Structure 1
Amino acid sequence: MKRFIVLLAGVWFISSPAWAGGATVSMFIATDSGPGNAVGTITVTDTPYGAMFTPDVNGLSPGLHGFHVHENADCGPGQKDGKVVPGLAAGGHYDPAGTGRHEGPYGNGHLGDLPPLYVDENGGSNLPVLAPRLKVADLKGRSLMIHAGGDNFSDHPAALGGGGPRKACGIVQ
């Protein structure tokens, strides 16, 4: 297993399975017919400062990608406005408090708002991100979604942060 040294709230940590709780989520390209080719995994571990998401994914477009926990454990397609939408069966962003707000991982909106994933020029991502309001137990029975494009954690100027189409999805077991 990969280990990363991470600075959290001024304290250096080594990410490892030694922290209580963990899950590894297999990620697949979202297609019109359901999950497609595997693109890697995202390992989630509990830390003293929230859930740490450590990606090991490849085959994505370079740049920032919106990253969220979605409400349903389903990466299949769905219908919207008469069109098939890859990954739509995952539902919306996980929002157990019903806030209806998209405020990012440090705000008081959707609990499923995660920091964006950075994908390098070779299409890979392995930089961990921290979700301070989540624990691994919150993710069971949900899905992780990587969107095309970044996310500004606002509904302006574009809805849902302008994150774009659903590109890769994985179910948290």
Structure 2
Amino acid sequence: MVHSKHFVLLACAMAMLPSLAHAADTASGTLLGTDGAAHGSVQVTDAPKGVILRVEAKGLTPGWHGMHFHDKGTCEAPKFTSAGPHVHAVTPVVHGLLNANANDAGDLPNVFVGADGTATVELFSPLVALKASKDKPALLDADGSSLVIHAHPDDYQSQPIGGAGDRVACAVIK
């Protein structure tokens, strides 16, 4: 009887090993609106060649909105300028997913907010890493980073932020 208990415990532990070995590092944050209240959440998962970003937002204006990783891990409402510029590794920073000379690692696709003010999106960014990387800026570096949602869509070309306008929501990534 004692041996069978140990066997069951050993079997359970071994069954968990593959999932633990493949568990990805994640970071998350609460999406704050300009009113300082919670308007959703973000989760960033480390991937072999970038990160997977999941955003669940509510209480935003319907329509398309620009979304970027910003350089500082702080979100002081109502303007969120404390989040700094976009995450980048090279200066001068050239913005735009449709710009052949772009080097702005904070660039992300736009997010669509429905008529009810909510948005749910999951996307992949090959431009950043969650932790230290030799070829990509790290979101979890010494001063952290944040995800910012802007008032207007990003046109993916205009400098410095694609015409995305004011910052309307922000989440510190930790």
Q: Normalising to structure 2: TM-score of the pair?
A: 0.74
Rounded to whole Å, the distance in 2 between the matches of 1:168 and 1:106 is 25
Unaligned stretches of 5+ in structure 1? 1-17, 78-84
Q: How many residues align?
A: 143
Distance 1:126 1:144 in 2: 14
Select 2:111's aligned residue among 105, 112, 117: 117
Q: Structure 1-normalised TM-score?
A: 0.74
Give the letter aligned to residue 37 of structure 2: N
Counterpart check, 1:154 vs 2:148: no
Q: Which residue of 2 aligns with 1:9?
A: none
Q: CA separation in 1, counterparts of 2:170 and 2:161?
A: 17
More helix by share: 2
Task: Output the CA distance in 2 between the equivalents of 1:105 and 1:19.
Answer: 33
| Identity over aligned pairs, percent | 31
How large is the Cα RMSD of the aligned pairs?
Answer: 2.1
CA distance in 2, matches of 1:126, 1:145: 15
Residue number in structure 2 paired with 1:27:
31
Instruction: Select the structure of larger CA radius of gyration.
Output: 2
Aligned mates of 1:166, 1:19 — CA distance in 2: 33
Please name the residue that 1:144 is paired with. 147
**CA drift at 1:42:** 0.9
Moved over 4 A (4+): none
Instruction: String of CA shifts for 1:115-157, please: whole Å, max 9, x gaps.
Output: 111211211111212212222222110111000110012126x
Three-state SS of the structure 2 residue aligned to 1:89 is helix
